[in-house]
Amino acid sequence: MKYLIITIATMGSFLLSNFEKIENTMSVHDFDVPALDGGQINLKDFKGKKILIVNTASECGYTPQYAQLEELHQEKKDELVVIGFPANNFGGQEPGSDKDIAAFCQKNYGVSFPMASKISVKGKDIAPLFEWLISQENPDFTGDIKWNFEKFLLDEDGQLIHRYRSGVSPLDEEILSEI
């Protein structure tokens, strides 16, 4: 007899223990994450829309992509949800608190898309959502995030469409053609 144990863990994700692989039955909609403003982001609320998840940092060479992410958010908000996930995993480029990050994003880029609370996107303390994201099949690459501003585009059912490295602009035709 096979058993499936589901335990609610930090940030609303699931820990799964089973004799067969069931990650493919999950979707991004199975995750809830703390929001930068102290609330909660329930990803199931975005069923029916595409989602672009981006690990962000305030002191990175790619930080100006916040402006492009905001533009994308404004232009495509009826069909796409952009969500930023600040992380300090690469070069200490996101040292601030949630309050500092929110103030920086608002003052410098007018960010109005949802932002999650600062998390880890790599290593032993990787957030469960990102552990799931990096394990999803992608035509170009899988595995650990290499730097800030990697992007994960998910379909209306919460499944990965494509993953993009940091250097791909949020407004690149490669991304826009998938929305």
CB atoms closer than 10 angstroms to residue 152: 24
Both tokens of residue 114?
Answer: 């949802």
Cα–Cα distance, 135 to 170 (Å, whole number) = 22
Distance CA 52, CA 179 (A): 10
Catalytic site residue from 51, 52, 57, 60 = 60
60 is catalytic: yes
Task: Encode 43-55: b = buried (16+ Cβ within 10 Å), e = exposed.
Answer: beebeebbbbbbb
Report CA-CA distances (Å) from 83 to 1, 8, 23, 43, 69: 40, 22, 22, 10, 9
What is the C-alpha radius of gyration for the chain, rounded to an integer number of angstroms?
A: 16
Q: How far, in Å, CA of 164 to CA of 175, rounded?
A: 8
| Beta-ladder partners of 41 | 33
Q: Cite the active site residues.
A: 60
